[in-house]
Amino acid sequence: MKKESGVMGNSGAEHKQTALLETLLRERSGERHAVILQDFPDPDALSCGFAYRCIAAAWGIDVDILYGGRISHQENIAMVNLLNIPVSLFDNHEFPKGYYQGSVFVDGQGTTSSLVDRLTRAEIPVLAVVDHHAPQEKLKPLFADLRPAVGACASIFVDYLQGGLLPLVSKPEHRYLATALMHGIISETGALIEAQAQDFTAAAYLQPFCDRDLLNEILHQQRSQKVMEVIRLALENRVIRSGFCITGVGYLRAADRDALPQAADFLLTEETVHTVIVFGIVQGDKEEIHGSLRTTRLSLSPDQFLKDALGRMDGGSYYGGGKARAGGFEIPLGFLAGQDDPELAKLKWETFNAKIQKKFLTKIGAEDQ
């Protein structure tokens, strides 16, 4: 199905991107594509995957939205359920050869997905990368649209909709899509505080189609008991130095991993605290330390702070990184991984806790001078 492109909204370079994507979709009509999200998909990524699926449907392209990790934040689970976003966990198996004719990366460039190597092994070509992070140059797609100046990747997809790839009309499917994209933009830009002009333009376009009641329901999910428990531990164990709050919460299940950023968000509301770091040992298929950083301090770059404080692992990649106001890190436990008897588990936690605290306190001490 051919659509009129360039109806309104975008211009210049962006208009050209919409036209290029349309050409790709036309040439790929009738195929089956896999949209690859990051392993722990956030609302921005989920809404972009959903948008690609809806757009591509008009060219008879079937799209599966896949991720390799976990959706654990109760808001994100609610988003998927309430807006009927067909997203699937693709865990420990290989891609069947020939099943997908191409992959599409949204809100990431393959550096945050564990599926990339398996896609390569199955010889599935990377068709498109649409993202708002700085260029990573890991993938070689046929079509790339990278706009680091835009607050949310969802706003780039709204640009495609508005540019004529899928003009919204009032019907239930479009209501779900518009609400998903609106939620993506709101959550990615700190309730629009970090939003750029293009994010506001996108939100304005979505507004008439967006379902306010559903959005409210997604945004007001209650915290689980486990999250409350992690917040309690985080409060009890916190150490505060020069406005930095550092806290370790011990062991937690992979399903509860998202309690870490939630505890960090909560601790950031304490007066005099400008930066929070919460970490714990996450137990799933493998045992790893995961941590979250949140800051309100404009002069602090979470990416640089975590890279400086924790350094690199043997292979050369950094343990942590981030974007404006938020960051995260993952430290494999190597030989010490694996679940032990309580005595050994306690010793292990105490050792890692002390070591990580020390790394951060040293970095903070250095910052203070």
CB 255 within 8 A of CB 70: yes
CB 324 within 8 A of CB 300: no
- Site residues for Mn ion, window 225-254 (CB under 5 A)? none
For residue 241, list its beta bridge partners: 244
44 binds Mn ion (CB under 5 A): yes
Residue count, binding to Mn ion (CB under 5 A): 4
Q: Between 14 and 44, whose beta carbon lies closer to Mn ion? A: 44
Smallest distance from Mn ion to CB 144, Å: 16
Closest CA to 90 of 104, 109, 70, 106: 70
Q: What is the DSSP secondary-structure string of 80-111?
A: HHHTT--EEE--SSPPPTTT-SEEEEESS-ST
Q: Between 45 and 267, whose beta carbon lies closer to Mn ion? A: 45
Smallest distance from Mn ion to CB 68, Å: 17
Smallest distance from Mn ion to CB 133, Å: 7
Strands across the sheet containing 239-241: 239-241, 244-253, 275-283, 287-295, 326-332, 320-323
- Site residues for Mn ion, window 177-206 (CB under 5 A)? 188
Q: Between 188 and 288, whose beta carbon lies closer to Mn ion? A: 188
131 binds Mn ion (CB under 5 A): no
Element (DSSP H or E) covering residue 330: strand 326-332
Smallest distance from Mn ion to CB 151, Å: 8
Smallest distance from Mn ion to CB 52, Å: 14
Smallest distance from Mn ion to CB 188, Å: 5
Q: Between 188 and 256, whose beta carbon lies closer to Mn ion? A: 188
Q: Between 22 and 44, whose beta carbon lies closer to Mn ion? A: 44
- Site residues for Mn ion, window 98-127 (CB under 5 A)? 107
How many angstroms separate the CA atoms of 180 and 157, rounded? 11
CB 29 within 8 A of CB 60: yes
Q: Between 14 and 188, whose beta carbon lies closer to Mn ion? A: 188
Interstrand relation of 126-131 and 143-146 (parallel, antiparallel or unpaired): parallel
Q: Between 116 and 130, whose beta carbon lies closer to Mn ion? A: 130
Q: How far is CA 248 from CA 225, 323, 354, in A?
A: 18, 22, 9
CB 34 within 8 A of CB 89: no
150 token code pair:
């835009």
Q: Between 75 and 107, whose beta carbon lies closer to Mn ion? A: 107
Q: Between 132 and 307, whose beta carbon lies closer to Mn ion? A: 132
80 token code pair:
């998927």
Smallest distance from Mn ion to CB 145, Å: 14
How many angstroms separate the CA atoms of 116 and 112, rounded? 9
Residue 143-172 contact track with Mn ion, rule CB under 5 A, x = bound: ----------x-------------------
Residue with smallest beta-carbon separation from Mn ion: 44
CB 245 within 8 A of CB 265: no
Count of other CB atoms within 10 angstroms of residue 102 = 19
- Site residues for Mn ion, window 335-364 (CB under 5 A)? none
Count of other CB atoms within 10 angstroms of residue 143 = 16
Smallest distance from Mn ion to CB 367, Å: 28
Smallest distance from Mn ion to CB 45, Å: 6
Q: Which positions lie near Mn ion, rule CB under 5 A?
A: 44, 107, 153, 188
